Structure 1
């Protein structure tokens, strides 16, 4: 049972695709639409800005200028066209050659090993871990893949963040969900990996997102909120709660 450190959803997904796990069940603690939107935003953030190439060479421009010098009207038109081309040449366009956008046989083969499950609420996540989760078996075509002969994996994205906006954001609530995840992994004999990814869509706001959530202080019980400022409320670091079951890489 381990904690993976990837602030980006794209980086963690790419890590799973390139892993040697025979099969992967990826539990995303959000809706399908939100996950796809986050993937798109992450990939766009990693795109490369490149200058747009000029449509004509300097030699061609000189030749065009000499040909239109005899005609005053044509010369004016040519100058206007050249000004437009010069403006276009300074424009920039975004070029994205991200690995996950490539339609290679390797990527297609690796993606077949992954099953994605969406659990947008704590109740959905606990219900799935408690009874619905079953280890995914390798398909016939995947058994001969020498690159993917490792143990099957259960990966959960943003398990802790799912609790952050609820009264379950406490040692009691986190312990209950973490225990269910560990029990499910032990029952199906799979590797269990957690990862807290920072949302690109949140911008600078997002105190409880990404790897920084491990340092957040939470109350011991569900019925108490740290924001209430009640005197004498005992708190504990999220990392200390999760460390009872997981190893931080």
Structure 2
């Protein structure tokens, strides 16, 4: 590789992980969640971290978000050390974090309220995003009045309201029924496509990984990378149609074998 090509490659790396390890202490015992993980995520890509429960997926996402500090190793964002949360990075957790005392529009506009944006401006942006995620008409409803899928949509709109350039999503659709999950996968792809945003998405579901990703990184025990697989399925992807493609079936088998290998 030429020096110019190497420079372009380095500039394209949004998230860099080198020699990352994370230990937790329980009593007198040190529990190893991640050990010597190396990973690079390129700008504008959709990367899925795939693995079984207990492989360190959520721990890795928390570290990428700057919510916890590594035991060893280094994490960078656009070449700068990650030492805490960054406004350029949005994080959608597994759990519902909407404020129950705020209606939908006040939940969604909250990042811009915290940033000090005038009320009229932040309200206009929040209402636009609420319509974008299919919640038009529910602006004044409270979280308790929404279904699980609607709360997920509201949470996604709130994250997007901060206008992050990188999205971290930790099994955001895991608790939803199959039909709603498919709808929200399609919605997420629509919002990401052409936006220039970078996405790191955690799941344990092979089909979800293949429907969404440009690249699937399969994690085994202690965050060991078992397989780093490019997903060469054409876009746009219809979740129902892509599942019957021969290449989808071939990739599914490869990822399934990697998950089994990672559990050993």
TM-score (norm 1): 0.34
Q: Which has the higher helix share?
A: 1
Q: What TM-score, normalized by structure 2, do the two folds share?
A: 0.33
Higher relative contact order (CA 8 A, sep 6+): 1
Question: Could you say which structure has the higher strand fraction?
Answer: 2
